[in-house]
Structure 1
Amino acid sequence: MTQPINVFSEIGKLKTVLLHRPGKELENLMPDYLDDLLFDDIPYLPQAQKEHDAFADLLRKKGVEVVYLEDLAAEAISEPDVRSSFIKDYLEEANIKGTGLTRMIQAKLDAIRTNRELIDVTMAGIPKSDLEELKSKSLTDMIESDYPFAIDPMPNLYFTRDPFATLGTGVSINKMYSVTRRRETLYAKYIFTYHPRFKDSNIPMLYDRHDSTRIEGGDELVLSKDLLALGMSQRTDVASIEKLAKNIFEQKIGFKRLLAFDIGSKRKFMHLDTVFTMLDYDKFSIHPEIEGDLTVYSISETVDGKIEIIKECDSLEAILNKYLEIDTVKLIRCGGNDPMAAAREQWNDGSNTLAIAPGEVIVYDRNPVTNKALEEAGVTLNYIAGSELVRGRGGPRCMSMPLVREDI
Structure 2
Amino acid sequence: MSHPINVFSEIGKLKTVLLHRPGKELENLMPDYLERLLFDDIPYLEQAQREHDQFAELLVSKGVEVLYLEDLAAEALLNDEIKEKFVDQYLNEANIKSKTAKQKAKELLLALPTNRELIDKSMAGMQKVELPKFELSSLTDMVESDYPFVIDPMPNLYFTRDPFATIGHGVSLNHMYAETRNRETIYGQYIFDFHPRFAGKDLPRVYDRDDSTRIEGGDELVLSKDVLAIGISQRTDAASIEKMAKSIFAENMGFKHILAFNIGEYRKFMHLDTVFTMVDYDKFSIHPEIEGELVVYSISEGKDGLDIIREEDSLENILCKYLNIDKVHLIRCGGGNLTAAAREQWNDGSNTLTIAPGEVIVYDRNTITNKLLEEAGVKLNYLPGSELVRGRGGPRCMSMPIIREDI
Distance of 2:143 and 2:173 partners within structure 1: 37
How many Å apart are 1:137 and its aligned residue?
Answer: 4.5
Aligned to 2:94: 94
**Which AA in structure 2 matches 1:88?**
D
Paired letter, 1:42 = I
Matched, 1:354 2:344: no
Q: What whole-Å deviation, never above 9, does each CA across 1:34-87 have from its counterpart, x for those lacking one?
A: 000000000000000000000000000000000000000000002111001000
Deviates more, 1:101-110 or 1:363-372: 101-110
Match of 2:65 in 1: 65
CA distance in 2, matches of 1:352, 1:365: 12
Q: CA deviation at 1:344?
A: 0.6
SS in 1 for 2:84: helix
Task: Tell me: CA distance 1:355–1:15, structure 2 relative to 1, closer, same or farther (3 Å).
Answer: same
Aligned counterpart, 1:309: 308
Give 1:338's aligned residue. Answer: 337
The residue identity in structure 2 corresponding to 1:343 is A
What aligned pairs does 1:96-115 form with structure 2 within 5 A after superposition?
Answer: 96-115=96-115
1:336 is paired with a residue of what secondary structure? helix
Please tell me the residue identity of whatever aligns with 2:246: K
What displacement does 1:136 show? 5.2
CA distance, structure 1, for counterparts of residue 143 and residue 236 of structure 2: 37
The corresponding residue for 1:20 is 20
Aligned length: 407
**Equivalence for 1:175:** 175
5 Å matches for 1:23-62? 23-62=23-62
- Tell me the C-alpha RMSD between the 2 structures: 1.0
Percentage identity across aligned positions?
71
Q: 1:277 to 1:144 in 2, by over 3 A?
A: closer
Superposed, 1:130-279 pairs within 5 Å as 130-135=130-135, 137-143=137-143, 145-279=145-279
- How much has 1:135 moved relative to structure 2? 2.7
- Counterpart of 1:312, as a letter, is E
Distance in 1 (CA, whole Å) between partners of 2:110 and 2:117 is: 11
| Residue identity opposite 1:301 in structure 2 | E
Is residue 382 of structure 1 aligned with residue 381 of structure 2? Answer: yes
> Which amino acid is 1:371 matched to?
N
Match of 1:392 in 2: 391
TM-score by length of 2: 0.98
Of the structure 1 ranges 104-113 and 130-139, higher mean CA displacement relative to structure 2 is found in 130-139
Give, in whole Å, the separation in 1 of the partners of 2:142 and 2:336.
Answer: 59
What SS does structure 2 have at the residue aligned with 1:314? coil
Partner SS state of residue 263, structure 1: strand
> Are the counterparts in 2 of residues 16 and 404 from structure 1 also a CA contact under 8 Å?
yes
State whether residues 162 and 218 of structure 1, in contact with CA within 8 Å, keep that contact through their aligned partners in structure 2: yes
**Could you tell me how far 1:291 is from its partner in structure 2?**
2.5
Secondary structure of the 1:87 match is helix
Counterpart of 1:295 in structure 2 is 295
What is the CA–CA distance in structure 1 between the aligned matches of 2:361 and 2:195, rounded to whole Å? 29
Instruction: Give, as a single letter, the amino acid of the residue that structure 1 aligns with 2:402.
Output: L
More displaced, 234-243 or 337-346? 337-346
Secondary structure of the corresponding residue to residue 16 of structure 1: strand
Of 76-85 and 333-342, deviating more is 333-342
Please report how far the alpha carbon of residue 256 of structure 1 lies from its aligned counterpart in structure 2 after TM superposition.
0.7
Q: Which runs of 5+ in 1 are unaligned?
A: none
- Separation in structure 1 between the aligned mates of residue 269 and residue 313 of structure 2, nearest angstrom: 19
How many Å apart are 1:200 and its aligned residue? Answer: 2.1
Amino acid at match of 2:236: T
Note if 1:123 corresponds to 2:123.
yes
Q: CA deviation at 1:293?
A: 5.2
Once residues 21 and 332 of structure 1 are traced to their aligned partners in structure 2, the CA distance between those partners, rounded to angstroms, is 30
| Whole-Å separation in 1 of the counterparts to 2:203 and 2:144 | 46
1:406 aligns with 2:387: no
Q: Tell which deviates more after alignment, 291-300 or 87-96.
A: 291-300
2:90 and 2:144 map into 1 onto residues whose CA distance is 24
Structure 1 CA distance for aligned equivalents of residues 343 and 317 of structure 2: 27
Alignment partner, residue 286 of structure 1: 286
Q: Distance in 2 between matches of 1:141 and 1:318?
A: 60
Per-residue Cα deviation, 1:181-200 (whole angstroms, up to 9, x for no partner): 00000000000000000002
CA deviations 1:301-320 (Å, max 9, x no partner) are 12x36211111232211111
For 2:85, the aligned partner's letter is S
Deviation at 1:242, TM superposition (A): 0.2
Judge conservation of contact 1:73–1:119 (CA < 8 Å) in 2: yes
- Partners in 2 of 1:360 and 1:205 — Cα distance? 30
TM-score where L is the length of structure 1: 0.98
For residues 249 and 144 of structure 1, what CA distance do their matches in structure 2 show?
A: 47
Find the residue that maps to 2:107 and give its secondary structure. helix
In structure 1, give the amino acid aligned to 2:23. G
Distance 2:70 2:263 in 1: 33
1:295-340 Cα distance to aligned partner (Å, 9 max, x none) = 11111012x3621111123221111111111111000010113221
Q: Are the counterparts in 2 of residues 292 and 315 from structure 1 also a CA contact under 8 Å?
A: no
